[in-house]
Amino acid sequence: MYDPNWRQKALDSGDDQNSPMFAQQRALEAQNTAGGGSGAGTSALPMFNQPTIDLQKSYETLFAGSGIGDIESTISTKEKARNDALAKINDNPYFSEATRVGRVAKLDQIFQNDTASLRNDVATRKADLETRFGLQTKQFDINSQQAQQAFTQFSSLLSMGALDNASGVDIANLTRATGLSSSQISSAIQATKDAKKKDVPTQIIQTDDGTNTGYAVINTQTGEIIKKETVGGSKPEKTKATGTGSTKETKTSETADVKYLIQLYKNANKKNPSWKKGSDLRKQYSPKDFLSNLLLQYPSASAYIKANFKV
């Protein structure tokens, strides 16, 4: 049973924390932490596949391969034969006390001589077994610590954006080092990249590539086009006007564009072909942000915007 206070008890008793008993407590602690069992502290690595060890099975495997069981079985067979012979000596009514005592002593001596090498072999093999078992539990601790360090390094690289362009080989190496599956690592990288996109400052701008007009959502820090929508074809280039005529034409053009964008933003009719564009626009901008961008991009149509789009 797992004892959450095993470390303090080890210090209080002066016992060796690398002893098999405390190795078992460390293993149980790792299992409880990984599985969320009672008695374990809060895991700092909720997704981490911590190494686990079955101490009983490990010991049984080592014991089976040591040959100790076969030797002890041989000793047991010899001991049974000694006991049977001893019973016959003690039950023989024709033996005097001196004869009985002498035969029992001789029988014991033969048994001790016959099994001494076997008992010595058992002792040395058990010492080897305990050493190997101790090394296994220590290796478990080492592997667990290395995996946790690898996970910490992975988290640091992830937060710095160093894994945004990780290759398949990189992900494979991280899988081996941390114990996380490749799908978990890939998902973590993608989630980090998606979270960064949400914090990008954006702006709506009007576009005209000479063929089509429309609007685009751009990253104001880098100028990168995040999304682009086509409104219609480009208007033929007009003769340059002077005075109020040019101002009036610009205002009329901007008002037409603003009218389209407002209608698009308000379009909640799923049967309308433009519904998807409007839905995407609403996801990208709150009404307040949408209004601010319209006023910024179409200043000559500000009166129309304020009159037809209320926040």
Q: Where are the domains of the chain?
A: 6-160, 168-198, 202-234+242-308
pLDDT above 90: percentage of residues in the chain:
6
Instruction: Please give the model's pTM, rounded to 2 decimal places.
Output: 0.30
Q: How far apart are CA 182 and CA 193, in angstroms?
A: 17
Mean pLDDT score of the chain, rounded to an integer? 74
Q: Which residues have a Cβ under 8 Å from the Cβ of 223 and sit 6 or more positions away?
A: none
Q: Which pLDDT belongs to residue 244?
A: 47
Indicate left, alpha or beta for 218 from its phi (over 0: left) and psi (-120 to 50: alpha). Answer: beta
Indicate whether 39 pLDDT > 50. Answer: no
69-95 mean pLDDT: 89
Q: Which pLDDT belongs to residue 240?
A: 43
211-220 mean pLDDT: 74
Q: pLDDT grade, residue 7 (50/70/90)?
A: low
Q: How far apart are CA 36 and CA 217, in angstroms?
A: 45
Q: pLDDT grade, residue 109 (50/70/90)?
A: very high
Indicate whether 264 pLDDT > 80. Answer: yes
Kindly report the CA angle at 275 between 270 and 279, in degrees rounded to 5?
Answer: 110
Q: How far apart are CA 268 and CA 282, in angstroms?
A: 10
Weakest-pLDDT range from 185-199, 223-237, 252-266: 223-237
Q: Which of 60-64, 75-79, 204-208 has the highest mean pLDDT?
A: 75-79
Report whether 265 contacts 273 (CB < 8 A). no
Q: How far apart are CA 258 and CA 254, in angstroms?
A: 6
Q: pLDDT grade, residue 153 (50/70/90)?
A: confident
Q: How far apart are CA 189 and CA 185, in angstroms?
A: 6
